[in-house]
Chain A
Amino acid sequence: MKETMEKVKEAPKKKIKPSKEPEIQEHPLESWLRMDRIPHIWCSTCGIGTAVTCFVEALKKTGIDRKDVCVVSGIGCSGRIAGYIKQDSFHTTHGRAVPFAVGLKLANPKLHVVVLSGDGDISSIGGNHLIHTARRNIDITIICINNFIYAMTGGQVAPTTPPTAVATTAPYGSYENPFNLPALVAACGATYVARWTSLHVRRLTNSMAEAMQKKGFSFVEVICPCTTLYARKNKLGSGLDLMKFYHDNSEIVHGADPNDVDIQFQTKIKVGKFVDIDKPSYLDGYNNYMKTRLGDKFKPYGVVDEEEP
Chain B
Amino acid sequence: MKADAKGVLTGDHYLDGDKACAEGAIAAGCRFLAGYPITPSTEVAERIAERFPLVDGFFIQMEDEIASMAAIIGASWTGVKSMTVTSGPGFSLMMENIGLGAMLETPCVVVNVQRGGPSTGLPTLPGQADMMQARWGSHGDYEIIALCPNSPQECFDLVITAFNLSEKYRVPVMFMMDECVGHMTEKVVIPTADKIEVEYRKITDKKPGDYLPYEYGDDLVPDMVKAGDGYFFHVTGLTHDEKGYPVMDWKTQEKCVHHLIDKINKNADDIILLEEENMDKAEVVVISYGITSRVALRAIQMAEESGLKNLGRLRLLTVWPFPEKRIRDLAKKVKAFVVPEMNYGQMVLEVERCAAGQCETILVPHGGGTVHQPETIFKAIQEAYK
A interface list, Cβ under 8 A from B: 34, 36-37, 66-68, 70, 72, 82-83, 86-93, 95-96, 98-108, 110-111, 128-129, 132, 290, 294, 297-299, 301-302
Chain B residues with Cβ below 8 Å from A294 are 53-54
User: Considering the complex of A and B, which 9 residue pairs feature the smallest CB-CB distances, nearest first?
Assistant: A103-B74, A103-B71, A107-B75, A91-B236, A99-B67, A108-B78, A99-B70, A103-B75, A100-B74
Q: Is the CB–CB distance between A99 and B62 below 8 Å?
A: yes
Q: Is the CB–CB distance between B227 and A108 below 8 Å?
A: yes
User: Once the chains are docked, how many angstroms separate the CA of A103 from the CA of B79?
Assistant: 11
Q: Is the CB–CB distance between B246 and A83 below 8 Å?
A: yes
Q: List 20 A-B contacts (CB under 8 A).
A: A67-B229, A91-B236, A92-B70, A92-B73, A92-B237, A93-B70, A93-B100, A96-B96, A99-B71, A100-B71, A101-B74, A103-B70, A103-B75, A103-B76, A105-B74, A107-B74, A111-B227, A128-B64, A301-B53, A302-B58
Chain B residues with Cβ below 8 Å from A106 are 32, 58, 60, 71, 75
Q: Is the CB–CB distance between A301 and B231 below 8 Å?
A: no
Task: Give the shortest distance, in Å, between B206 (CB) and chain A (any CB).
Answer: 15
Quick one: which of B73-103 are within 8 Å of A by CB?
Answer: 73-80, 82, 96-97, 99-100
- Greatest chain A CB density within 10 A among B74, B78, B236 is at B74
CB closest chain-B residue, reference A287:
B53
Q: Is the CB–CB distance between B67 and A89 below 8 Å?
A: no
B97: contacting residue among A96, A107, A297, CB under 8 A = A96
Chain A residues with Cβ below 8 Å from B63 are 99, 128-129, 132
Query: At the interface, yes or no: B286 with Cβ under 8 Å from chain A?
Result: no
Q: Is the CB–CB distance between B228 and A67 below 8 Å?
A: yes
User: Once the chains are docked, how many angstroms separate the CA of A99 from the CA of B67?
Assistant: 5
Q: Is the CB–CB distance between B232 and A99 below 8 Å?
A: no
Chain A residues with Cβ below 8 Å from B234 are 34, 82-83, 89-91
- Greatest chain A CB density within 10 A among B62, B228, B231, B243 is at B228
Contact size range, B: 35 or more
Q: Is the CB–CB distance between B233 and A96 below 8 Å?
A: no
User: Once the chains are docked, how many angstroms separate the CA of A260 from the CA of B26?
Assistant: 49
- Using A67-B229, A88-B233 as known contacts, list a sample of 18 further A-B pairs with CB atoms less than 8 Å apart, ordered by residue number in A: A89-B234, A91-B237, A92-B70, A92-B237, A93-B70, A93-B96, A93-B99, A93-B100, A93-B237, A102-B70, A103-B70, A103-B73, A107-B75, A107-B78, A128-B63, A128-B64, A297-B54, A298-B54
Q: Is the CB–CB distance between A128 and B67 below 8 Å?
A: yes
User: Once the chains are docked, how many angstroms separate the CA of A129 from the CA of B65?
Assistant: 11
Task: Give the shortest distance, in Å, between B80 (CB) and chain A (any CB).
Answer: 4
Chain B residues with Cβ below 8 Å from A68 are 228
Q: Is the CB–CB distance between B228 and A108 below 8 Å?
A: yes
On whether A299 and B246 interact (CB within 8 A), knowing A93-B100, A99-B62, A106-B71, the answer reads no
Q: Is the CB–CB distance between A103 and B72 below 8 Å?
A: yes
Chain B residues with Cβ below 8 Å from A86 are 232
CB closest chain-B residue, reference A107:
B75
Task: Give the shortest distance, in Å, between A110 (CB) and chain B (any CB).
Answer: 7
Chain B residues with Cβ below 8 Å from A103 are 32, 34, 70-76, 82
User: Once the chains are docked, how many angstroms separate the CA of A289 from the CA of B184?
Assistant: 34
User: Once the chains are docked, how many angstroms separate the CA of A175 from the CA of B179?
Assistant: 47
Chain B residues with Cβ below 8 Å from A87 are 232
Task: Give the shortest distance, in Å, between B10 (CB) and chain A (any CB).
Answer: 18
User: Once the chains are docked, how many angstroms separate the CA of A297 from the CA of B52?
Assistant: 12
Query: At the interface, yes or no: B307 with Cβ under 8 Å from chain A?
Result: no
Chain A residues with Cβ below 8 Å from B354 are none
User: Once the chains are docked, how many angstroms separate the CA of A66 from the CA of B73?
Assistant: 22
Q: Is the CB–CB distance between A88 and B232 below 8 Å?
A: yes
A299: contacting residue among B56, B77, B227, B235, CB under 8 A = B56
Q: Is the CB–CB distance between A107 and B232 below 8 Å?
A: no
Quick one: which of B145-182 are within 8 Å of A by CB?
Answer: none
User: Once the chains are docked, how many angstroms separate the CA of A68 from the CA of B231?
Assistant: 11
Query: At the interface, yes or no: B66 with Cβ under 8 Å from chain A?
Result: yes
CB closest chain-B residue, reference A90:
B235
Q: Is the CB–CB distance between A70 and B245 below 8 Å?
A: no
Chain A residues with Cβ below 8 Å from B70 are 92-93, 96, 99-100, 102-103, 129
Chain A residues with Cβ below 8 Å from B228 are 67-68, 70, 88, 108, 110-111
Task: Give the shortest distance, in Å, between B335 (CB) and chain A (any CB).
Answer: 48
User: Once the chains are docked, how many angstroms separate the CA of A54 from the CA of B123?
Assistant: 50
CB closest chain-B residue, reference A88:
B227
Q: Is the CB–CB distance between B73 and A100 below 8 Å?
A: yes
On whether A83 and B236 interact (CB within 8 A), knowing A37-B245, A70-B228, A107-B78, the answer reads yes
Chain A residues with Cβ below 8 Å from B66 are 95-96, 99
Task: Give the shortest distance, in Å, between B324 (CB) and chain A (any CB).
Answer: 31
Task: Give the shortest distance, in Å, between A16 (CB) and chain B (any CB).
Answer: 34
CB closest chain-B residue, reference A302:
B58
CB closest chain-B residue, reference A136:
B60
Chain B residues with Cβ below 8 Å from A128 are 63-64, 67
Task: Give the shortest distance, in Å, between B28 (CB) and chain A (any CB).
Answer: 16
CB closest chain-A residue, reference B66:
A96
Contact with A along B16-33 (1 / 0, CB 8 A): 000000000000000110
Q: Is the CB–CB distance between B237 and A104 below 8 Å?
A: no
Chain A residues with Cβ below 8 Å from B62 are 99, 102, 132
CB closest chain-B residue, reference A112:
B228
Query: At the interface, yes or no: B11 with Cβ under 8 Å from chain A?
Result: no
Q: Is the CB–CB distance between A88 and B53 below 8 Å?
A: no
Chain A residues with Cβ below 8 Å from B245 are 34, 36-37, 83
User: Once the chains are docked, how many angstroms separate the CA of A106 from the CA of B74?
Assistant: 9
Chain A residues with Cβ below 8 Å from B54 are 294, 297-298
- Greatest chain B CB density within 10 A among A83, A99, A104, A294 is at A99
CB closest chain-A residue, reference B108:
A103
User: Once the chains are docked, how many angstroms separate the CA of A102 from the CA of B56?
Assistant: 18
Task: Give the shortest distance, in Å, between A155 (CB) and chain B (any CB).
Answer: 21
Q: Is the CB–CB distance between A96 and B58 below 8 Å?
A: no
User: Once the chains are docked, how many angstroms separate the CA of A235 from the CA of B76?
Assistant: 47
A92: contacting residue among B76, B100, B227, CB under 8 A = B100
